[in-house]
Amino acid sequence: MEFKISKELIHQIEELITAKDDRELNVLLADIHFADIAEILDELDFDDATYIFKLLDSDKTAEILLELEDDARENILKRLSPKEIAEELDELETNDAADIIAELSQEKKEEVIQELEDVEHAKDIVDLLRYKEDTAGGLMHKELVKVNENWNVLTCVKEMRIQAEHVSRVHSIYVVDDEDRLKGRLSLKDLLTTSTKTPISEVYISKLNWVKVDAEDVEVARIMQKYDLEAIPVVDELGRLVGRITIDDIVDVIKDEADKDYQLAAGISQDVEADDSIIELTKARLPWLVLALLGGFISVRVLGLFEGAMAEHGNLFFFTPLIAAMAGNVGVQSSAIIVQGLANDTLSGSVFNRLLKEISLSLLNGVILAAILFAGSHVLLNVDFTIGIIVTVALISVIVIASLIGTFVPLLLDKFGIDPALATGPFITTSNDICGILIYFSIARWILGF
């Protein structure tokens, strides 16, 4: 049932644009969902995209604006006058409008705000601009349905009909007192199923979840998931109802957070997509590679320290990549589990217990792997007994150390308010490579005494 863009369609549209055949274009695009039109505009060059954009009604284009990829939106906005942008924003929910204004240059921002028709709407938007993007205030929108605890169901329903006009999804109706303080909620169902005379104060549910306006977005996401909420009211320091966050905004937060952690674990330092420009991709990838390269320098120096072994025990050096790789892999596994535990807030128990657990876990894994290595080193790699012992002992110790580093570096970062996900990927592999090699050759020197 889903719409799929075809090369033919894109080509047809481009031709209609050059032919300036607006009638045909309108017919062609009439039945296409705005999310799909956004995908089409992403494929067109910016002038063509702007042409289509100006052609369509602002109720449709406003939604398209939200779905466009950043560079397309930026370039289309550049080509629109403040008045044209304001027309789009008048169609949008306050938080979406605020997000778009936030992307504009300072002076254009003011010009656009001047042009906004609906003054109430404009007030709300400007109000939202105050809040940090990654807080409840930055996520919430002003559209919601609220009723006074002193009304009865009938007044409430009347009031709702008016308020609902501006609210795309009602979810629940919030009950406030005369000072606008949040008292509770009503469900549409309750209204459908209670007599019109009943006073609200008798039917509303006073127990409800809410978040403070300065709560972190990931925190809000956790609460809404845990309590399975589709909307949550946002209150200010005085407990007054200032806005509402709906699950669709939270879905994006969850997705972005997961993507971010994933990319950091892979050594990509900013949100990029396969289709971004080579420069963008390099910006995101090169820093971590440079870090890894510098780490590589250290490993070269470390190996240099043990040059003495080369004459007699040269084949020790054959095992360095194996030891380094195992250290890296174990470290990434440990850190990934901790990072997810922190993200989902599922870490319980004391640090000491975690230490014990990680040691026993890595010992168990280490011994099994060392056994395989010891056997393999004779059967497959036919190295002599001593070397076999050395690499085996080294592997166990390296695995234990690596898993401890992988576990506690993220925990430490988190303690200092740094994103623990930074400690996954290249960072952990590089540091574990170095430790691993150092441990391995120290053990070798200690046993062989070179």
Candidate segments 84-92, 133-141, 155-163, 173-181, binder of its own copies by CB under 8 A: 155-163
Q: Which of residues 387-416 bind its own copies (CB under 8 A)?
A: none
The answer to whether the CB of 434 falls within 8 A of the CB of 402 is: no
What 8-state DSSP symbol labels residue 205? B
* Piece of the chain touching its own copies by CB under 8 A; list 101-109, 147-155, 195-203, 289-297: 289-297
Binding its own copies by CB under 8 A: which of 296, 312, 355, 415? Answer: 296
Task: Confirm if 34 and 67 have CB atoms less than 8 A apart.
Answer: yes
Binding to its own copies, residues 39-68 (CB under 8 A): 43
The burial class, CB within 10 Å (0-12 / 13-18 / 19+), for 378 is: middle
Residues in binding contact with its own copies, number by CB under 8 A: 116
Tell whether residue 273 is a contact of its own copies (CB under 8 A): yes
The residue among 131 and 288 lying less far from its own copies, judged by its C-beta, is 288
Rule CB under 8 A: is residue 297 a binding residue for its own copies? yes
Contact segment (CB under 8 A) with its own copies among 14-22, 86-94, 134-142, 281-289 equals 281-289
DSSP state letter for 172: E
Name, in order, each residue with C-beta under 8 angstroms of 307's C-beta and a sequence gap of 6 or more: none
Q: How many angstroms separate the CA atoms of 37 and 3, rounded?
A: 10
Within 237-266, the residues that bind its own copies by CB under 8 A are 247-248, 250-251, 254-255, 258-259, 261-263, 265-266
Contact range with its own copies by CB under 8 A, out of 107-115, 120-128, 129-137, 376-384 = 376-384
Among 8, 178, 228, 237, binds its own copies (CB under 8 A): 228
* Listed ranges 19-27, 86-94, 131-139, 269-277: which one lies at the site for its own copies (CB under 8 A): 269-277
CA distances, 254 to each of 138, 224, 261, 302 (Å): 15, 11, 11, 42
> Of 15-23, 75-83, 102-110, 336-344, which segment contacts its own copies by CB under 8 A?
336-344
Nearer to its own copies, 185 or 285 (CB): 285
Annotate 368-417 with DSSP letters as a single string.
HHHHHHHHHHHHTT---HHHHHHHHHHHHHHHHHHHHHHHHHHHHHHHTT
Does 307 participate in binding its own copies (rule CB under 8 A)? yes
CA 267 to chain CA mean position, Å = 15
Considering only residues 316 to 335 of the shown chain, the ones binding its own copies according to CB under 8 A are 317-326, 328-330, 332-333, 335
With CB under 8 A as the contact rule, the residue among 268, 398, 405, 438 that binds its own copies is 268
Residue 270 token pair: 């900013």
Residue of 6, 23, 31, 237 that binds its own copies (CB under 8 A): 31
Closest CB to its own copies among residues 18, 353: 353
Structural contact between residues 250 and 221, judged by C-beta atoms closer than 8 angstroms: yes
CB of 302 to its own copies, least distance (A): 9
Residue 278 tokens, joined: 């080579």
Q: Give the Cβ contact number of residue 415 at 10 Å.
A: 11
In the bound state with its own copies, the residue whose beta carbon lies nearer, of 128 and 338, is: 338
User: Shortest distance, CB of residue 228 to its own copies, whole angstroms?
Assistant: 5
Task: Pick one of 92, 160, 200, 444: the residue that binds its own copies (CB under 8 A).
Answer: 160
Number of Cβ within a 10 Å radius of residue 195: 9
3-state SS assignment for residue 82: helix
Q: What is the closest distance, in whole angstroms, from the C-beta atom of residue 385 to its own copies in the complex?
A: 16
**The pair of three-digit structure tokens given for residue 432, joined into one six-digit string:** 């574990």
Report the C-alpha gap between 256 and 278 in whole angstroms: 22
Regarding 164 and contact with its own copies (CB under 8 A), the answer is yes
Per DSSP bridges, beta strands 146-148 and 231-235 are unpaired
Regarding 380 and contact with its own copies (CB under 8 A), the answer is: yes
Q: Which residues pair with 47 in a beta bridge?
A: none
Please state, in angstroms and as integers, the Cα–Cα distance from residue 219 to each residue in 90, 211, 222, 257, 423, following that order.
30, 9, 5, 11, 21
Q: Residue 376, interface with its own copies (CB under 8 A)?
A: yes
CA 306 to chain centre: 44
Q: Does 295 bind its own copies (CB under 8 A)?
A: yes
For its own copies, give the closer residue by CB, 86 or 343: 343
- Is residue 94 close enough to count as binding its own copies by CB under 8 A? no
Is 303 a binding residue for its own copies by CB under 8 A? The answer is yes
> Dihedral angle at the C-alpha atoms of 216, 217, 219, 225, nearest 10 degrees?
160
Q: Which two structure tokens, joined as six digits, stand for 189?
A: 């169902």
Give me the 171-210 binding string for its own copies, x by CB under 8 A, dash otherwise.
-----------------xx--xx-------------x-xx
The correct pick among 107, 178, 275, 352 for binding its own copies (CB under 8 A) is 275
Among 86, 128, 147, 338, binds its own copies (CB under 8 A): 338
